[in-house]
Structure 1
């Protein structure tokens, strides 16, 4: 595969990444630690509340919690509480990459401990310092502190912390390419975790062993260790009850799946690597769908993994070519092409060799999106901006499409379903350009999906096979259309201002409602409580309003839809609320066959190991087979035209949803009355099923 010359470099990178991976275990399973499944409130009344935020990866909230507790301990002159909490603060700061504050917290804890002489707290602070120095690549100091901590844990004795310390020592020796010593430490750690019955620790140690075996090119042993780790991780996640807990746990588990993909690829087990790629996607979402299909919403069930044969069968059922991407440790890109008929094809390469100098894949995606948006928001030097946009879109095409172009269907009417990964979820695949400046949507009918198994598990609709209009969703009273609600007064976004009214969305809603033979809900009529009630029975849902992201708006949810507030609610319908109303397996799912989120950024969210945790995921969990979302804000006039054409293609021309969107986009690109700028049409993505 041409990777050998980069082998040592990548192993070092992996070691550093997995250091943080193991380091997250600092609080887990310690006596008295609140588990992920118990993290149900935003209170900060005890150290357990801080641990809950930490367990969910909500580090800033954890810092606030620990700081509040620290102030209380200082006020009450509780020196032991101070020293203990400072170690938790140090660990949390380390996860935030704030290393100087982490070191300061651990050193303060050690200073207090010279008075109180608590060996447990001292060892925790020493191990924490070792973790920080490891991340700073000061390996000898990392080893020294870990060895000091190890000696204390053995003296106490604290076998759990001894095992964790051994795992950390194994990782730092791996970082130094001392793989045999790394194996020895990880094996000692594994023996202890097995003896004390700590499954989570076993999985960490096995992952460390797999990584070290890979470093020695002992691929069979690496594969065995990593498979064992994944089996344990699947069992652990199955027993977690809450959806956000499952998402958080997989964020720490995902690296095991990524590493096994590389190990399998090195042995040319490319189809097995595809199975692992699928196994490492959307596990929490898939479990919800699986429980609902089997009508056992409150029962922990083992989600079956897909075999290559089943993946090929799904491609046939979807009558589509599936393209699955996997971005591994920011260094490797794997691509599988699964046609409805024929052999699975695989391509891969080492990313730094195929990207512009000093730019990462994440950065290329970011600048590509910015160039599209900049060109549409300013008239300054439009030719220059257009050139920049085309250049970036061509670079992404060169990277993501050209290596597999020969395996894609030649018939532009045949569907291609892209299954992105990591930052590729933000790529406007429809707008990628080849070297002749031809957009991908001109060559193919395109959809996306969070995983192949999602396509399989989304509930099938009962439609007559011989009905030529089977793919056309219902209209009339069963359609819910919302536009320009009276916006909540809460100040949001970076400007901390209330949301602006959307007169263009109102025009859009009225036009769509007329096409669907229904009455739109506008202004004060479109309250959150009313919309939630009507969503339950609607067959088609179209929401033309603001979409918000937590990273920008501080709404305490990965995404939200702005609706009119009332005495019963705040007007923000969040992803969490959609899950609570319709998405959890014990809830009655939505009946909608199509949900269109005609708002900015509705296709975005928190990108995690689970996938994109945002609005689209919530609606898929609520059993909606097709969701249309946007990747950025689209000008009002363009949205109105695109959406009008989209629904016309569905209801008048009887196209399936993927073809309907394709034709609507092509009308923007090719018609004289359309806006050719990708900003005007490429944001929208059809997620899920075409029919």
Structure 2
């Protein structure tokens, strides 16, 4: 029931009636009573105006009620006519009562006497009725109404409710019809009546009189304190009589008054809101109750006990689940999470159930990071409550696999799902839902791997095993929709259309249409129509999908963005260019926001998958659109340029920012997490150097643990930022507009962002990769977007020896990638460029033009990871120290290696685990490089003469340990003259790898991780590479890019890798080259010189000697490199392979 506790308005009825007698009747009830002199007969009291206000008949000095009681003169009927009643009393008592106002007052007082003195309701009734009849005879309506009220009160106290209501109603009707001068009296009568009822707990009886009282609108009823009480009681009365809508209106008017008086944090307010919400919810006024419950939840109602709080929570969940409103469900879950968390230690089983629920809700809302977090907690607690092999753990692991699949991490999804199934297979049986979820993971993994026929088979099996009816029917429709998507990928568009249509019909019949999956079915069907050229139907279904997404308020999900981008395609195809372009720009902004948000929580592997599966494709369409329309909309080239600044090296930038945040946090929890991460990385280094058949631990498990720690670190940093303990700007990916690059350019300078993307044509994503240039100079209002060539044409050009590619008579590269932009470089002398895709393999300095000159003769060329780096200051090498490696003895024996390893403190090295497990048949060997010995001795001399302090490590002393010992305290310049290696992905043919087949080099040549397929060799490397076993107690002499990336070499301004192919690696979209080049920047080094092909020993020594001579003169490595390359070009002009193989990158 609705209770107000301390804010009741009811006063004591007896006191109130006394006040009424004294105040109510102007002209009838005086301010002062003047008594008549003593004597027998009628004594009359008058006010100061002479108006009668009291009377009593006296006989023999005693009041008449004395004689009535003494003689028992009450044997008359209250219903008698007044003349008969007076006749009886006059005869019985020997008095002379007449029909007058005085007699009415006398009879009333006699009735009061018997009521107050003897509680004699029956006798009081007779005299009150006689008084009433007399007043009616006198036609004194005000006094009659007054007596009607007292009769009603008498019957109420006598427990005669019907009689009471009759007289109360007659009293109210009398005063309602009196002139306006009696309105105050009418209000007080009404108030007295409902107060009397309320005091007796009869709220329903009070309703009529409260209504009439409030209708008067007099000042008292507008008093907030009184009004809120009256409205509350009115609401209760309505509710109890079934007038629930009127009750609701009264309650809703009451709440703001209570809030204004007490405040929303008051205990009374929160209890009132809770009581009202519970009443409404239980009586099927759920739509009205939910806002009240939601307000309570937003208030964090500390005054509610746990049961109340859980009732609020449960009601909200039930309501929104019925509506399939997962956005609000996740909102409720998020608000309740702090409260629910207290049960984690006190009631683990309850918390496990809530954690599972939270995980499911956040999945539906696309908040996969939170879904994963709660599912991991659930699994951990189940292991504690039950056992590691309990079937409940197995089912939850499969559920976790579903989450990883939604996070675009199919490998991890399959791994944890298989772990879960292994647990279930050992039990008494596999739950049906677990089987279905496992099949879904398998099927989606097959889709990710483009094995669509296998996926078709899997999804048909899922449909066959899926239950039907109820909620399961919608799941069936969703599965059918996925099968339709598989038909789309199989290019069976007719079957895809029919299957989507069937899925939509099934979903509609269930009534469950407020979920993202339903919107996707409609949006995907639109794609089928677009493919068939039916753009009218395509736009219709696309509009339905977009409207549904907006309805369910899930507009930041990638699937919604897909539908918006599809709409841009359809509009462009219909010729609605302006609307298409506007939509594309809007989508562009949304994509950037989505990526920024996920960077804060997802691991690097998850982000990489997310970028590859969704974000890259989104940008592919946008850039296709921009290319087609940039002439008439030049601002689109600016958008494209901004995208390149945002995307290139995105994960590398993000990783660097988080490392900075960790370093500056001074937080013990972060320190512990990063230490765990370093240890796992070190163990992975060990495992990855072993052939797969010799690994005792599955590296995939460690990779998952590593990713989990990454996310914990990010979550911890985010929490510290929220608390103000850390600058939140450190976490955000700074979005640099092209205007900032333009502003740092000087006259005569230009910046070129090369870009590559899969081209979209006529609503269809093609397999053709387009290469474009975005050219910007000081005077540009907008960059120019210029088409260059395609990926197939580039691959054809690059599949030759460097001397043929860069032959002065071969202008193929020039025609494809430079001539189209040359007209935009008028009066330009300096070009800062950032390559993309296959352009990372091109030595731009050596590209010959149609006149036989090379580009480095026309321009001063500077290669950048991104032209955004121009906004960072860069000039000279900072510091005076140098570490130089060369003349390395790759055959150093193990005893010497262990001896040389001792001086390097393990504390100074990055965590690593020595590999002591044998490797099979390492038959290949690395030859000594005599030129590298001469090279480093000459460099050491040049540095010394240039006032730098070089340390040169030759032959046996050039150990891997010595490099790792610089972790956290590295030299200003690190120069390594050695062998380098870079093997392509295993699905690409490589001659060297084919020659090494079966010799045990698979740990490097066939590694999945591209950072393991690139590296440098140090002392003793042949022992591990060729002899099949690395030395116990020492590093193996093979520094992989994976290991280099884990070092802190941030004090180093320049690393020179004077070795073969150190600039190569796997090219991964906007992240660039995954190999030594990437690892250099991951280690924090500012700039690097790396090679694009196999470089000869002697000519490399020449170039490096020239470079350091120039560096000591100009102190700027970029300028020194350009001068040195110019000189080498002069010496070997017709042999580009001898002078153009190295590039300087910053």
Q: In which range does the TM-score fall when normalised by the shorter chain?
A: 0.7 to 0.9
Counterpart in the other structure of 1:519: 951
Of 533, 539, 544, the match for 2:965: 533
**Distance in 1 between residues matched to 2:793 and 2:918, nearest whole Å:** 28
Counterpart in the other structure of 1:397: 814
Structure 1 residues 91-114: Cα deviation after superposition (integer angstroms, max 9, x where no partner): 222222222222222233334447
The answer as to whether partners of 1:130 and 1:143 remain within 8 angstroms in 2 is yes
Counterpart in the other structure of 2:784: 346
| Root mean square deviation, CA, Å | 4.4
Aligned 1:399-548 pairs, distance under 5 A? 399-408=816-825, 414-457=829-872, 460=873, 471=876, 474-475=879-880, 477-479=881-883, 481=885, 484=888, 497=922, 500-501=925-926, 503-504=928-929, 506-507=932-933, 508-517=935-944, 518-522=950-954, 525-526=957-958, 528=960, 530-536=962-968, 537-543=970-976, 544-548=978-982
Distance 1:506 1:262, change over 3 A: same
SS where residue 823 of structure 2 aligns? helix
Counterpart in the other structure of 1:464: none
Structure 1 residues 276-327: Cα deviation after superposition (integer angstroms, max 9, x where no partner): 333242233445667789997845544453444323113239x742122233
Counterpart in the other structure of 2:1053: 593
Distance 1:365 1:633, change over 3 A: farther
The answer as to whether partners of 2:363 and 2:403 remain within 8 angstroms in 1 is no
Counterpart in the other structure of 1:161: 517
The answer as to whether partners of 1:70 and 1:86 remain within 8 angstroms in 2 is no
Aligned 1:305-384 pairs, distance under 5 A? 305-316=735-746, 320-329=749-758, 330=768, 332-340=770-778, 346=784, 348-349=786-787, 351=789, 361-372=790-801
Structure 1 portions without partners, runs of 5+: 1-27, 352-360, 376-385, 462-469, 583-588
Aligned 1:193-204 pairs, distance under 5 A? 193-194=549-550, 195-197=552-554, 199-200=556-557, 201-204=559-562
Structure with the bigger RCO (C-alpha within 8 Å, sep 6+) is 1
Of 587, 595, 602, the match for 2:1062: 602
1:254 aligns with 2:679: no
**Distance in 2 between residues matched to 1:550 and 1:37, nearest whole Å:** 37
Counterpart in the other structure of 2:1120: 660
Structure 1 residues 64-103: Cα deviation after superposition (integer angstroms, max 9, x where no partner): 6666766776676535433332232222222222222222
Matched residue count = 615
The answer as to whether partners of 2:982 and 2:1062 remain within 8 angstroms in 1 is yes
**Distance in 2 between residues matched to 1:116 and 1:509, nearest whole Å:** 77
1:678 aligns with 2:1140: no
Aligned 1:616-631 pairs, distance under 5 A? 616-620=1077-1081, 622-631=1083-1092
The answer as to whether partners of 2:932 and 2:1101 remain within 8 angstroms in 1 is no
**Distance in 2 between residues matched to 1:450 and 1:398, nearest whole Å:** 24
Of 1089, 1093, 1096, the match for 1:635: 1096
SS where residue 660 of structure 1 aligns? helix
Counterpart in the other structure of 2:1110: 649
**Distance in 1 between residues matched to 2:409 and 2:937, nearest whole Å:** 41
**Distance in 2 between residues matched to 1:38 and 1:576, nearest whole Å:** 27
**Distance in 1 between residues matched to 2:889 and 2:595, nearest whole Å:** 39
The answer as to whether partners of 2:776 and 2:784 remain within 8 angstroms in 1 is no
SS where residue 222 of structure 1 aligns? helix
Counterpart in the other structure of 2:641: 277
**Distance in 1 between residues matched to 2:400 and 2:1061, nearest whole Å:** 32
**Distance in 2 between residues matched to 1:115 and 1:94, nearest whole Å:** 25
1:225 aligns with 2:553: no
The answer as to whether partners of 1:33 and 1:48 remain within 8 angstroms in 2 is no
**Distance in 2 between residues matched to 1:392 and 1:125, nearest whole Å:** 59
**Distance in 1 between residues matched to 2:1042 and 2:619, nearest whole Å:** 27
The answer as to whether partners of 1:33 and 1:51 remain within 8 angstroms in 2 is no
The answer as to whether partners of 1:207 and 1:225 remain within 8 angstroms in 2 is yes
**Distance in 2 between residues matched to 1:85 and 1:30, nearest whole Å:** 18
SS where residue 323 of structure 1 aligns? strand
**Distance in 2 between residues matched to 1:332 and 1:316, nearest whole Å:** 30
How far off is 1:590 after superposition?
A: 0.3
The answer as to whether partners of 1:87 and 1:109 remain within 8 angstroms in 2 is yes
How far off is 1:253 after superposition?
A: 1.2
1:103 aligns with 2:456: yes
The answer as to whether partners of 1:204 and 1:229 remain within 8 angstroms in 2 is no
**Distance in 2 between residues matched to 1:37 and 1:575, nearest whole Å:** 34
How far off is 1:545 after superposition?
A: 4.1
How far off is 1:63 after superposition?
A: 5.6
**Distance in 2 between residues matched to 1:562 and 1:681, nearest whole Å:** 21
SS where residue 1056 of structure 2 aligns? strand
By percentage of residues, which structure has more helix? Answer: 2
Aligned 1:11-410 pairs, distance under 5 A? 29=363, 35=369, 46-47=397-398, 78=430, 79-113=432-466, 119=473, 122-154=476-508, 155=510, 157=512, 159-194=515-550, 195-197=552-554, 199-200=556-557, 201-239=559-597, 240-241=599-600, 242-251=603-612, 252-265=614-627, 266=629, 268-280=632-644, 281-282=647-648, 283-287=650-654, 298=717, 299=721, 300-301=728-729, 302-316=732-746, 320-329=749-758, 330=768, 332-340=770-778, 346=784, 348-349=786-787, 351=789, 361-372=790-801, 386=804, 390=807, 394-408=811-825
How far off is 1:439 after superposition?
A: 2.5
Of 972, 978, 985, the match for 1:551: 985
Structure 1 residues 186-221: Cα deviation after superposition (integer angstroms, max 9, x where no partner): 333333334243512433332222222222232332
The answer as to whether partners of 2:1103 and 2:1128 remain within 8 angstroms in 1 is yes
The answer as to whether partners of 1:250 and 1:609 remain within 8 angstroms in 2 is no
Question: Which 10-residue stretch deviates more, 676-685 or 65-74?
Answer: 65-74
Distance 1:443 1:286, change over 3 A: same
The answer as to whether partners of 1:34 and 1:49 remain within 8 angstroms in 2 is no
Structure 2 portions without partners, runs of 5+: 1-361, 377-392, 666-716, 722-727, 759-767, 892-913, 945-949, 987-1004, 1019-1029
Counterpart in the other structure of 2:72: none
**Distance in 1 between residues matched to 2:847 and 2:916, nearest whole Å:** 38
How far off is 1:401 after superposition?
A: 0.6
SS where residue 628 of structure 1 aligns? strand
**Distance in 2 between residues matched to 1:592 and 1:246, nearest whole Å:** 28
Normalising by the residue count of structure 1, what TM-score does the alignment of the two structures yield?
A: 0.75
**Distance in 2 between residues matched to 1:450 and 1:482, nearest whole Å:** 28
How far off is 1:576 after superposition?
A: 5.7
Question: Which 10-residue stretch deviates more, 334-343 or 157-166?
Answer: 334-343
SS where residue 337 of structure 1 aligns? strand
SS where residue 254 of structure 1 aligns? helix
How far off is 1:135 after superposition?
A: 1.8
How far off is 1:275 after superposition?
A: 3.3
- The structure whose Rg is larger is 2
